Structures are given as structure tokens and as C-alpha cells.
Amino acid sequence: TMEDTYLLKHPGVKKKILVGGTGPLPHFPPGTKLVFNFQTLLDNFERTVVDDSRLAGRPAEIFVGKMFKLEVWETLLTSMRVGEVAEFWCDAVVSLYPIVSKGMRLIAQGKDPLEGQRHMCGMGNLFHYHSTGFPELDELMRTPQPLIFIMELLQVGDPMSYHRESWMMEKDEKLSTVPLLHMRGNALVKQRQFQEAASEYKEAVLLLKTVQSREMPGDADYMNLARLIVPLELNYCQCMLELHEYYEVIEHASELLDKHKDCVKGYYKRAKAHAAVWNEKEARRDFNMVAHLDPTLASLVHRELRALSERMKEKFRGLMLRFGLVSVLGLDLGD
């Protein structure tokens, strides 16, 4: 049976030491690198294995005080001695586990942890995160439940090692935070909380740009990150359209289109913003670009251009009436 040793500050955690470690309990100042193997099991009769870091071929590592995702792991590991193997039962404090696990699995496969979100960008069809692509993780998302972690603490680095390697680790952490922000943004959009959603998207873009700033422009990682930024920027622009922040949309869409000249949705959102602020020439140019890049949108563009003409006529008619010119000039403002 599991001993009821409750860990400090975590009433929902029980610990059982399976193999004693060596030496005194290490000192864990912020920035200390922890290298460990872990197994994640379901708390069921079969103790089904969900993840096993040994299968990834390399141990996991985190840095104390730098954990965005599963703070509970830091608590578990800093209760251990080097070489110790312990089993921890954790109450459903680990609701983010499926997201973290997905990120780690993709990283272990040498893939981008944000893989598969690219083609689902922007307009209207905001992301659906009901699937992680791993059925057992989807099940955990649907029914948060206690998990068992078997941890083996392999190595405790000195805090200085953190400075040499931190940014690599931070890169993974930042990247695995992006889908969380994206998900939160999408949930807020569904509730029509556009201001709150926009700030989630913006934070995700900033994280990606921070990671990107460490890469060499033009190399594969740099290009991948650039692509990942696009759907987030488009979602941000959509929120700004909903909030009538048209100049913000024009500015962001223009910056996006400088780098991605064939981004149909970028032109569409910028066209909508231009139309809203009476920039007829620019709106027409952008709408026409949408039809040029994606002929299937020609009828949508046609409708938008008709609506734009109507609005411009209305505006003109309004001005004329204001200055009392219509009757004098006998202008025909019909179709």
C-alpha cells in the first residue's frame, strides 16, 4: 500500500520510495537542472502505462523555478535524493498533463511540438483542440483523474549549468505553452470575449517571436516558427475586427503580409478593415488579391465589393445631403 506521506504544500500527493537514493537531500536553488526518468501510469487495476521516458531514448530534464507546465513535477523531484526511485500518487492536479505529454512526445519524435496546427488557421474555423492526436491523452482530457508518476532522479546539476543550457529548455517550454494560450484564446472567442482572447493570442505570438529571435533567419526552425505565428496573428486580427480596432488590424495584417505574400486570410482581414475605415482603393486592392490567390472565393469577393460600393455611395449621398448639394446639382445617385 502507498504510505500516506503527504508532500509539503501538496495535500493531493502521496509518495512511496521504491529505491533509496544516495547522499543527503540535494540543495535545489532556482536554475538547478534536474535530469530524470519518469513513467506515467493510470491509477487503475492494470496500472496502464501512459508515458515512459526510457522509450524516448533520453531522460527528461527540467530547471527548478522554470517550470511553466507541471509545477507538481518540481515538487516531486525536489523531494528526492540522487539515484532514488519513488512512486507518487497525484490527485487530479495534473489536468495539463495531456498537453505537456503531447509536447514531449512530439519533441521525442524529433517533431515540432506544435505540429499539425498549421493548416487549421484563422477565419471562423478556429482551432478544435478536442484531439491531441493521441487517444489515451484525449481520454485524460475528457476525464481528469489521478495519475501515478514513477520518478528516478538521475542527476542534479549545479545552478550554473542552467545558464549554459537554459534557453534550449526554455524553447521547449515556450513552445509547449503556445497551444495552451491558443486553446484559451479559442475558448474565449467562443464566449465572444474578444479582448481577452486577443491578449492570449498576442502572448503566444510574443513567445514564438522570442524563440524565433534565437534562430538564424532563413533556416528551417526559423521558417517553421514563422509559419506557426500566422494563424495566431490572423486570430488576433479577427478579434480586433470584432472590436472595431481597424487600424490595429491594418497594421498587423500588413506586417504579416510583408513576410507571407500569399496569405489569403491576411488580405481578407485587411480588406475588411480598410473597408470599415472608408479606404476604398486599398480595400478593393486587397479583396481583388483574395480572389486572385484563391479563385474559389471569387463570389465572396464579389459580394464584398458590391457591399463596399453601396457603403461608399451611402457615404457620398450622406455628404451631399449634409451640404444640400443633391437637389441643386440634381445628382443621380441611383445604381
> Quick one: 259 and 283 in the same domain?
yes
> Quick one: 96 and 73 in the same domain?
yes
Residue % of the chain over a pLDDT of 90: 37
Q: What is the pLDDT of residues 210-224, one digit of tens each?
A: 888 777 777 877 888
Q: Is 118 inside any structural domain?
A: no
Provide the domain limits for residue 271: 244-314
For the segment 171-198, the average pLDDT, to the nearest whole number, is 84
123 three-class SS: coil
Q: Quickly state the pLDDT bin for 270 (edges 50, 70, 90).
A: very high
Q: Quickly state the pLDDT bin for 236 (edges 50, 70, 90).
A: very high
> Quick one: 95 and 140 in the same domain?
yes
Crossing angle of helices 264-276 and 220-242, rounded to 10°:
30
Which CATH number fits the domain that encloses residue 91?
Answer: 3.10.50.40
**What is residue 325's predicted lDDT score, i.e. its pLDDT?**
63
**What is residue 197's predicted lDDT score, i.e. its pLDDT?**
92
Q: Is 78 inside any structural domain?
A: yes
> Quick one: 22 and 103 in the same domain?
yes
Q: Please count the structural domains in the chain.
A: 3
Of 233, 261, 294, which closes a domain?
Answer: 233
Closest by Cα among 112, 96, 109, 113 to 58:
109
Q: Is 48 inside any structural domain?
A: yes
> Quick one: 270 and 295 in the same domain?
yes
Residues 6 or more apart whose CB falls under 8 angstroms from that of 314 comprise: none
> Quick one: 152 and 9 in the same domain?
yes
Is residue 268 predicted with pLDDT exceeding 90? yes
Residues 6 or more apart whose CB falls under 8 angstroms from that of 154 comprise: 35, 36, 37, 59, 82, 83
Of 196, 213, 233, which closes a domain?
Answer: 233
Which CATH number fits the domain that encloses residue 302?
Answer: 1.25.40.10
- The region, left, alpha or beta by phi > 0 then psi within -120 to 50, assigned to residue 192 is left
Q: Quickly state the pLDDT bin for 106 (edges 50, 70, 90).
A: confident
Most confident of 28-37, 152-161, 170-179, 305-314: 305-314
The 10 Å Cβ neighbour count of residue 310 is 11
Q: What is the pLDDT of residues 43-85, one digit of tens each?
A: 999 999 999 988 877 788 887 876 555 778 888 999 999 999 9
> Quick one: 272 and 250 in the same domain?
yes
Given a contact cutoff of 8 angstroms between Cβ atoms, the answer to whether 91 and 160 are in contact is no
> Quick one: 77 and 32 in the same domain?
yes
**What is residue 273's predicted lDDT score, i.e. its pLDDT?**
96
Of 187, 211, 233, which closes a domain?
Answer: 233
> Quick one: 256 and 202 in the same domain?
no
Q: Quickly state the pLDDT bin for 164 (edges 50, 70, 90).
A: very low
Q: Is 322 inside any structural domain?
A: no
